[in-house]
A and B are shown apart, each in its own frame.
Chain A
Amino acid sequence: MSGETIGDEATTGTVRITGHQGDEIPAYLAHPPGHGPSAGVVVIHHMPGYDEATKEITRTFAANGYTAIMPNLHWRDAPGASPDDAAAAARAAGGVPDERLVGDVDGAARYLRSLGSATGKVGVIGYCSGGRQAFLAACRLPLDAAVDCYGAFVMDAPPDGMPLKVGPVVGLAGDLSCPLLGLFGAEDGHPSPAETARLEQELARLGKTFEFHTFPGAGHAFFAVDRPSYRPQAAADGWQRIWEWFGRYLAA
């Protein structure tokens, strides 16, 4: 790893991981300060790509004591391209297939567990489209904690006329392998509070461990500090919930 020291003394760099079907893809890795054991977090970037904003989120996990990794989910669509060109190429190709996503998150989790500093505990978090993908990954892979930040189309099918290659994944909820934290905006339309309420009911029916929070005055993407959707109060509260959740379920 090519080291780079930032203000909080987390160490960051780009590594190669083995993803879906044995493909080698790059991933952004952030180590916490010090050399003690740490749990891992896989960060799933949103549709705009493997961007600076999500790298900052990855560094935030490291600054708070986790070894965090963000696989480049668009690499195969545009090797070596800038993240925005790669996001456009991935979109033109129809988006990230669910199977490939699961394989890449699995590869990222395996990489984290292989590190000498690993405790063995690994969580996953995703934002926007990554929220749905975090839910999907937590249903398909053995993980220790998951966070879905306003992922749409977990519960409901997309509206008619939307030629999506994604669909609801709630049917996999029986296989949810770990406790799930859901963070949503009360003013979001996708997912709407009514939709997340039905998802809560389904998880409760299945006896799953979960906790959902819907923040007033916030819509979609309230964590995104570089977008007008940013809502500082909801984001601050949300981060606190994340620290509590991962603190509880990723502790050694």
Chain B
Amino acid sequence: MCTYHTERVEVAGSGKGPDGWFPVRLACVYFDHPQHTPADHTLNIDFLNPGQGPSARVAVELGAESALALADAIHAALGAANRKGLS
């Protein structure tokens, strides 16, 4: 089914889209039908800058296990940096 469920989170950073780097302001996270991945559902993340138009977008579609592994990796990387006093 289309889950409709979307988690929106304001973010600060940069992303590289089809026209080069742009400031990322919003991330939309949802588990739903992918555009490209051969799967019924994927964990999709759109890194967006709505102020720069719909093409200011970096998109990823990940299998559920991959997405969880990515979340763990983000926590691990930030945890390691925190232990070194970098974050």
Q: CB within 8 Å of B: which residues of A? A: 46-49, 51, 77-78, 81-82, 84-89, 91-92, 95, 128-129, 150, 152, 158, 162-166, 188-191, 219-221, 227-229
Q: State the interface size on chain B (CB cutoff 8 A).
A: 25
Per-residue CB proximity of B30-46 to A under 8 Å, as 1/0?
Answer: 10111100111000001
Contacts of A128 in B (CB 8 A): 1-2, 33
Contacts of B46 in A (CB 8 A): 88, 91-92
B48 CB contact (under 8 Å) in A88, A166, A219: A88
Contacts of A92 in B (CB 8 A): 6, 8, 26, 28, 46, 48, 50
How many contacts A-B (CB < 8 Å)?
82
Per-residue CB proximity of B7-37 to A under 8 Å, as 1/0?
Answer: 0100000000000000000101010111100
State the majority secondary structure of interface residues on B: loop
B84 to chain A, nearest CB (A): 35
Name the residue of chain A whose CB is nearest to the CB of B27.
Answer: A92
Contacts of B40 in A (CB 8 A): 219-221, 227-229
Per-residue CB proximity of B42-71 to A under 8 Å, as 1/0?
Answer: 000010101001110101000000000000
